[in-house]
């Protein structure tokens, strides 16, 4: 019998007060530190859902929408949005809160693809996802769309002729200068 799990069973929340040791040279919280926290919560979420050790296979776009300040409380919320045979897409939302004023900011959202592993490092089948409401349906389909778009992009990347005269001429539309050496080859 195949196992199944709910989205609710995967949900994890992590909160941490941002300290001066987490800041970059401009006094804001370092993006790399936030990525580390996101990777930790993605691991915890995927492992909780699958019951297995999980590794990060890929990270989709991370757009830093608002800076995080020293002294703010950062909260990360994660849940499994999609499952394949051995992989899961974990959606993560990061917010920060100024603890004196209570003002909250959405800092970023991202999607981590995690793969379940056994003790020998082999991929392991993950439980089916039980979808319980329309928001979960939307998130599942959004994940399918991101996966399909990634496949299309890879196909385009493999078939695009960067050496063609059209490709080189098209570069004139961008903030780039083509060396004479390149044009004469």
Structure confidence by residue, pLDDT tens digits, 55-73: 999 999 898 999 999 999 9
Assess contact for 46 and 81: CB atoms under 8 A. Answer: no
- pLDDT surpasses 70 at 1: no
H or E stretch covering 115: strand 104-117
Q: What is the DSSP letter of 69?
A: B
The rounded distance, in Å, linking the Cα atoms of 160 and 156 is: 6
The rounded distance, in Å, linking the Cα atoms of 138 and 142 is: 6
Structure confidence by residue, pLDDT tens digits, 97-152: 999 999 999 999 999 999 999 999 999 999 999 999 999 999 999 999 999 999 99
Of the two residues 62 and 79, the one the predictor is more confident about is: 79
Assess contact for 4 and 128: CB atoms under 8 A. Answer: yes
Residue 185's pLDDT is what? 67
Our separate counts of H helices and E strands in the chain read 4, 7
Widest distance between CA atoms in the chain: 66
Mean predicted lDDT score pLDDT of the chain: 93
Stated pTM of the model:
0.87
What domains are there in the chain, each with its CATH number? 4-131 (3.10.129.10)
């Amino acid at each position: 019998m195949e196992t199944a799990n709910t989205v609710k069973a995967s949900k994890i929340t992590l909160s941490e007060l941002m300290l001066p040791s987490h800041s970059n040279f401009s006094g804001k919280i370092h993006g790399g530190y936030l990525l580390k926290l996101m990777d930790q919560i993605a691991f915890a979420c995927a492992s909780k859902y699958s019951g297995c050790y999980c590794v990060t296979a890929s990270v989709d776009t991370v757009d830093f929408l608002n800076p995080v300040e020293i002294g703010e409380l950062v909260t990360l919320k994660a849940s499994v949005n999609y499952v394949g045979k051995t992989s899961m897409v974990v959606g993560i939302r990061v917010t920060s809160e100024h603890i004196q004023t209570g003002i909250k900011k959405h800092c970023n959202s991202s999607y981590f693809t995690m793969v379940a592993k056994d003790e020998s490092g082999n991929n392991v089948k993950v439980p089916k996802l039980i979808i319980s409401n329309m928001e979960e349906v939307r998130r599942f389909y959004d994940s399918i769309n991101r996966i399909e778009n990634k496949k299309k992009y890879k196909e385009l990347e493999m078939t695009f002729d960067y050496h063609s005269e059209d490709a080189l001429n098209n570069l004139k539309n961008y903030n780039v200068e083509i060396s004479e050496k390149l044009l004469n080859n």
